[in-house]
Amino acid sequence: MEIIGAVGSLVTLLTAVLFYFGWASTDAETKALGLRDTVFHLSTSDYLLRSVGALYLPAWLAAGAALGALGLHRWATNEPERLTRAVRVLRFAWTVPLVLVPLYPLSPWLFDLLLPLTTIAGLSLNAYARTRGRRDLRLWGLTLFVCVLSLFWAVSAYAQIAGRGRAELTERTVRDEFPAVTVLSEKDLMIRGGGSCFRRVTEKGSRYAYEYGGLRLFHVSKDRVFLVARDWTPGHGTLYVLKEGTEQRVDLLSGPGHRERECRG
């Protein structure tokens, strides 16, 4: 039962971290794009899925650090004198983040990530050194509390970096890599500029009166389709929100040939 409880607590903490990272990174990404995440009505599962890819590297680094710590611990315990010296030094590991604080103005975005990570490592090593051979639940309880807070601080800092990186990637690839879209509508949707184009449908028997091209599929949420023009940028552009219905149709176009011919005549 103790093992089940410990595993359940870890799973709960991991889920909370994944959700928080997904929300924080999406918030940073949409702000960098001049939008807000609330526009897209993302669900809890959306936030969880958006966090998985960006956390592969931190997970591997954490696993490598854990294996390295286990190796160093085994190496130190082979000689009692060596272990005694290491424990004596680790009692002052909590001072490492304090040393970094004066350097924070040099690079705030970097130290926003380094400070919580060194706090977790420093306080954990300090608690290990001071409680070796005895149990001190109060020290470990306080250490775990501060470490959890520091973990969310580190996740928030990394999420900001990851979110801004995704926003920069979106700006570079929206024209050539986002799905090309054509919209057919019974009424004029007033989609203009940014590399988009429109024409009146003259084919007999068509229920649609307008066709819009030069558009890219930005996001889909339930019954709403979010589109941008192919030359869209965060600083200059419009996000078009269409609600699926009988008055309009959204066609997704595949293949590079269409991108070369769109909006020509």
pTM of the model: 0.79
Q: Count other Cβ atoms within 10 Å, centred on residue 111.
A: 18
d(CA 115, CA 132): 25
Name the amino acid, one letter, at 255.
G
Largest CA distance in the chain: 93
pLDDT (tens digit, 9 = 90+) per residue, 77-127?
A: 788 788 788 888 888 998 999 998 888 888 888 889 999 999 999 999 999
Spell out where the chain has E strands: 180-185, 197-200, 210-221, 224-229, 239-243, 248-253
pLDDT (tens digit, 9 = 90+) per residue, 64-76?
A: 988 988 888 888 7
pLDDT at position 215 is 93
The pairing of beta strand 239-243 with beta strand 224-229:
antiparallel
In this model, does residue 46 exceed pLDDT 80? yes
In this model, does residue 150 exceed pLDDT 90? yes
pLDDT (tens digit, 9 = 90+) per residue, 200-251?
A: 988 888 889 999 999 999 998 888 899 999 999 988 889 999 987 778 888 8
Q: 6 pLDDT band (50/70/90 cuts)? A: low
pLDDT (tens digit, 9 = 90+) per residue, 161-198?
A: 999 999 999 999 998 889 999 999 999 999 998 889 99
